[in-house]
């Protein structure tokens, strides 16, 4: 049975999901055809990363096709709406999607138009499914601080649609500190922030995310296990880790699923959450992520319930799941 249609033990929350990495392959193919884009290989070869990429850099090359076709408001809105539909099939009652609007201007689309398009698609998906959604905007480490401030200012202009700010990219190559002005704008406005850290680099990048950028959540955080003082900080301040097991193995952040640190960190009281990262790039669903954790690490239903409680507490949106979505999740099968 497809893991997306298995009856989950309860409503699920997904906190770490990239829009460009979660476009349905059929939609990528249709958009490429509509736009007259000739593909050199199959959509699956272009958009789905191998089980082991060896690095984050190689993993990110599989986002090139989605970014090429997501350059119009209608394409962005379609991708966002279909993601919400896929969440509903996956038993997700609250889904948070992030994207970098500054990457969608190749044909002249501005930041505001990109944000409005994704917000429109999410709203259409919510009306159709009852799934609650939240939109996060991503700054990029390799871009300038001024570009990140522009993204943060767009978030402020669309506070009715934007729930948080993110910083993505390879922390080995690009520190987060230069982007502090963008994050300071968010803190002054009371908008929460998450930062990719502890994925390509070690615990020092997580410390920077917390102490310099004021992150309330950490994207991945896989490499923080060797720093006891950091783990104490995560526990005491309830700073959630947005862990994505399949992706973490693909990028080389974790050696394999059996050696993924999520189970050990959960046992040590760290607020671990589980997400897909990029549903298409990783060829996964949230249901599949929990299934492989059960198979590789012996996770129990109680472990998943604990993870879901962490996700509810860490969500950048109201905490109570919508009744319609909860009921739908319980009757899937």
Both tokens assigned to 39 = 């593909």
DSSP-based three-state secondary structure for 280: coil
Give dist(CA 265, CA 262) in Å, integer: 5
H/E run at residue 56: helix 56-60
- Say whether 85 is catalytic: no
CA distance 202 to 222: 8
CB 199 within 8 A of CB 174: no
134 touches 143 (CB < 8 A): no
Q: Are 136 and 162 in contact (CB under 8 A)?
A: yes
Catalytic-role residue among 14, 199, 289, 304:
199
The two structure tokens encoding residue 32: 């490429």
CA 120/CA 178 separation, integer angstroms: 32
Number of other CB atoms surrounding residue 83 within 10 Å? 28
266-290 burial code (b ≥16 CB/10 A, e <16): beeebbbbbbbbbbbbbbbbbbbbb
Q: How far apart are CA 280 and CA 285, in angstroms?
A: 9
Reference 220, options 5, 43, 59, 28; nearest CA is: 59
- Catalytic residue set: 199
């Amino acid at each position: 049975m497809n893991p997306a249609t298995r009856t989950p033990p309860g409503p699920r929350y997904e906190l770490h999901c990239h829009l460009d990495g979660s476009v349905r392959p059929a939609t990528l193919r249709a958009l490429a055809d509509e736009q007259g884009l000739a593909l050199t290989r199959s959509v699956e070869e272009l958009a789905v990363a191998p089980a082991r990429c060896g690095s984050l850099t190689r993993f990110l090359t599989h986002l090139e096709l989605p970014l090429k076709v997501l350059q119009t408001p209608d394409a962005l809105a379609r991708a966002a709406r279909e993601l919400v539909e896929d969440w509903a099939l996956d038993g997700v009652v609250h889904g948070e999607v992030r994207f970098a609007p500054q990457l969608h201007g190749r044909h002249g689309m501005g930041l505001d138009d990109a944000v409005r398009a994704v917000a429109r698609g999410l709203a259409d998906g919510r009306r159709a499914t009852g799934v609650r959604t939240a939109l996060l905007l991503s700054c990029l480490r390799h871009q300038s601080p001024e570009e990140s401030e522009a993204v943060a200012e767009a978030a402020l202009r669309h506070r009715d649609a934007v729930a948080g700010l993110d910083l993505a990219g390879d922390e080995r190559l690009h520190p987060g500190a230069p982007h502090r002005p963008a994050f300071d704008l968010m803190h002054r406005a009371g908008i929460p922030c998450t930062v990719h850290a502890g994925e390509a680099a070690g615990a020092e990048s997580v410390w920077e995310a917390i102490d310099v950028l004021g992150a309330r959540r950490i994207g991945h955080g896989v490499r923080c296990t060797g720093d006891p003082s950091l783990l104490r900080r995560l526990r005491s301040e309830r700073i959630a880790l947005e862990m994505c097991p399949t992706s973490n193995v693909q990028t080389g952040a974790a050696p394999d699923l059996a050696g993924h640190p999520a189970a050990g960190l959960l046992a040590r009281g760290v607020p671990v959450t589980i997400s897909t990262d990029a549903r298409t790039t990783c060829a996964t669903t949230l249901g599949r992520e929990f299934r492989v954790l059960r198979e590789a690490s012996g996770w129990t239903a109680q472990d998943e319930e604990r993870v879901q409680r962490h996700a509810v507490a860490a969500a950048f949106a109201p905490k109570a799941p919508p009744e319609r979505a909860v009921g739908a999740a319980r009757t899937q099968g």
